[in-house]
Structure 1
């Protein structure tokens, strides 16, 4: 059995199928970890949802910001953005089943693999959060999303405040802060305050801020994340074992899988690059 972690699909269904073929992936034998953002911006968002959902227990995926945006549009009253490619999902006859499945996905996945305590989130992990604390915080949001308050939370999920985590946060501020760390974080300051404006490469860091993975941790955990296509799968200057997997397939880059036992990376090029 091999466990592979794959970066953001973002509707790149054809490349996803090619990558599974390149891995010789067999759901009866192997497993997938998917780092979130299954949907949006690419042409095959509906097919990506159906493909991953059909894999059942062979695939573990965390929620990304684009996945949450789909849920907010469908169930929280949010509006589609101009660049969204979610119409096919919203009009699909199996829409509600797929949305129910997506809404039940976690914010973290954690296992010991190849002797390493390994945690996957979409965007990363605050340096001061232990893996156990991160899991517990994720469960808080997951319980709300899967319960009667799920729609109400999706209506109020968006926002940049509070940007600095405090353990005594409560209510919507607490839930929003957790979601923002797990699905939107890139640059933080020494206190752990998030910046939400800078979204490009490392040279776009605001004064006093650095990538979250350049701050040390008290453990030697392996952290798997996607979200940050501008990194091109690299984490230079990292002070932790952070494995970046979003290699920008939807932007003409590639779709990448990491063998979580051997550390080998396998990629297939974006069809958009081939068409250029």
Structure 2
């Protein structure tokens, strides 16, 4: 059995299928881990959702910010934004079924070797706290009162972790870390205004994975979300969003002691700026 982690698809269904052909993915034997943002901005979000859902246990996906936005659009907001490409999903006969499946996917996933989430972690979180906070938010998304969760999900505050945060604030913080974070200060104050590559940010901001002494240093982490970062390999950290949507690549990482990288060129013509 081989496990491949794949970066942000964002509706680039044709590219996903070409990448799976390249790695000779066999759903009867192998498994793919998808690092979130299955949907939005790309041309075939509906096809992507149906395909991944249809793979059953052969596909593991964590939720990204665009996936959460789709769910919120359906259950709490009523309409999509100007840049969204979600209309085919919203008009599909199986929309409710797809959204119900999507909101039951995890924010954080791990096996004995690797951990995966969409975006980042605050420096105060170790494995146990990450697992605990993700589970709390997942239970809210999957519970009977899920509409309330999605209505209170948006917002940039609180910007820094505190052990005594109110439950609603705590879950919003969790969502922002796991699905939106790129930069923060050395003390873990999150910033959401910067999306460029490391070196482009103002003084005082650090990529979340480069914060000195972060408590997740012993976790082998796979993440997406940061297309301008490109493929990244650092200490126990692999960034695999290589900007397929923006005309970059779609990347698969074969997991093991020495992970192997596979990638295909993408033909998208979107402008990220």
Give the TM-score of the pair, scaled to structure 2: 0.94
Show the counterpart of 2:231. 233
Distance apart, 1:199 and its partner CA: 1.0
Secondary structure class of the residue paired with 1:250: helix
What is the aligned partner in structure 2 of residue 164 from structure 1?
A: 160
Instruction: Summarize deviations over 1:30-53 as a string: whole Å, max 9, x none.
Output: 011100000000001001101100
CA deviations on 1:188-237 (whole Å, 9 max, x unpaired) are 111111001011111232221100111234542211000000011125xx
1:244 aligns with 2:244: no
Inter-partner Cα distance in structure 2 for 1:123 and 1:163: 15
Structure 1 191/217 Cα, relative in aligned 2: closer, same or farther at 3 Å? Answer: closer
Verify the 8 A CA contact 2:124 2:161 in the aligned structure 1: no
Residues in 2 aligned to 1:245 and 1:51: alpha-carbon distance in whole angstroms: 21
Could you tell me how far apart the structure 2 residues matched to 1:270 and 1:176 are?
Answer: 33
- Structure 1, unmatched stretches of 5+, are none
The DSSP-based 3-state class of the residue aligned with 1:221 is coil
TM-superposed CA distance for 1:78, in Å, is 5.7
Q: Which residue of 2 aligns with 1:265?
A: 261
Tell me which moved more, 191-200 or 127-136.
127-136
- SS of match in other structure, 1:76: helix
In structure 2, how many angstroms separate the alpha carbons of the residues matched to 1:201 and 1:271?
22
Contact kept, 8 Å, 2:35 with 2:63, in 1: the verdict is yes
Q: 1:120-159 counterparts in 2 under 5 A?
A: 120-159=116-155
Match in the other structure for 2:49: 49
Residue 147 of structure 1: how far off its partner (Å):
0.9
Distance 1:111 1:205 in 2: 33
CA distance in 2, matches of 1:154, 1:78: 12
Query: Aligned equivalents of 2:7 and 2:78: distance in 1?
Result: 26
Contact 1:124–1:224, Cα closer than 8 Å, also in 2: no
Which aligned segments of 4 or more residues in structure 1 are displaced greater than 6 angstroms? Answer: none
Q: Deviations over 1:1-56 (max 9, x none)?
A: 00000000000000000001001001111011100000000001001101100010
1:124–1:223: 8 Å Cα contact kept in structure 2? no
In the alignment of these two chains, the number of paired residues is 266
Give the one of 201, 210, 218 matched to 1:205. 201
RMSD: 1.3
Q: How does 1:18-97 map to 2 (within 5 A)?
A: 18-77=18-77, 79-97=79-97
- Write the distance in 2 (CA, Å) between the matches of 1:191 and 1:203: 19
Q: How many angstroms does 1:242 deviate by?
A: 1.2
Other structure's SS at 1:112 match: coil
- TM-score for the superposition, normalised by structure 1: 0.93
Q: Distance in 1 between matches of 2:199 and 2:79?
A: 32
